[in-house]
């Protein structure tokens, strides 16, 4: 089963790919080694990766064949839940039309410039972590410490959260209900 993270390749290469909007789609496979049965297949579209979802691993030790090489992990729990599209879950294959619709629902993220996409994904993930279908602006502000840690160069976290809520609204990920209230689109919450 997929855990919190997926081991990836070179850290510098992955960060460069994110910065240049050149990450590939990732399809992760989990199977039962005894029966060779496919248990889970997960699709991570190329436009859902941000720097905050990548963890730098320690360099390989001096006795390693590639001493000093630095790899990375993809932090699945740092990606919005919507960004993790299950093609197969628990051995059950999703309907192709459902997978295509989930991908289509995410596709507006690809329109964002890569340097802005990270903030949008991080705010969406923070909102999802509230565990509420409807939430308030104050609820969104409760993530400001976490977002400040992810984006230490930004000293105006609350205005940035408000801005990203507008971006998410415009992209169709949430709906503004009025008076500082929002509703996430169907996310399974």
A 10 A CB-CB count for 186 gives 9
pTM: 0.86
pLDDT, tens digit, for every residue of 143-164?
Answer: 999 999 999 999 999 999 999 9
* Cα–Cα dist 49/158, whole Å: 23
75: pLDDT strictly greater than 80: yes
What pLDDT sits at residue 184? 94
What pLDDT sits at residue 179? 92
Asked whether 136 and 176 are in contact (CB, 8 A), the reply is no
Q: What are phi and psi of 127, to 5 degrees?
A: -65, -45
pLDDT, tens digit, for every residue of 78-115?
Answer: 999 999 999 999 999 999 999 999 999 999 999 999 88
The arithmetic mean of pLDDT across residues 51-63, rounded, is 95
Domains and CATH numbers, the chain: 1-110 (3.40.210.30), 112-189 (1.10.10.10)
What pLDDT sits at residue 188? 46
Q: pLDDT confidence of 189, banded at 50, 70, 90? A: very low
Chain length of the chain: 189
């Amino acid at each position: 089963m997929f855990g919190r993270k997926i081991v990836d390749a070179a850290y510098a290469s992955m960060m460069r790919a994110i910065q240049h909007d050149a990450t590939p789609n990732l399809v992760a496979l989990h199977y039962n080694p005894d029966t060779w049965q496919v248990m889970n297949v997960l699709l991570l579209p190329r436009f859902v990766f941000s720097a905050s979802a990548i963890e730098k691993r320690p360099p390989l030790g001096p006795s390693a064949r590639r001493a000093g090489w630095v790899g990375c992990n993809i932090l699945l729990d740092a990606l919005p839940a919507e960004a993790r599209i299950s093609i197969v879950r628990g051995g059950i294959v999703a309907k192709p039309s459902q997978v295509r619709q989930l991908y289509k629902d995410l596709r507006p993220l690809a329109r964002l410039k890569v340097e802005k996409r990270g903030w949008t994904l991080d705010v969406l993930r923070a909102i999802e972590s509230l565990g509420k279908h409807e939430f308030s602006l104050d609820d969104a502000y409760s993530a400001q410490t976490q977002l400040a840690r992810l984006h230490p160069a930004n000293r105006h976290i609350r205005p940035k959260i408000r801005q990203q809520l507008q971006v998410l609204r415009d992209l169709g990920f949430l709906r503004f209900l009025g008076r500082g209230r929002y509703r996430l689109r169907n996310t399974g919450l």
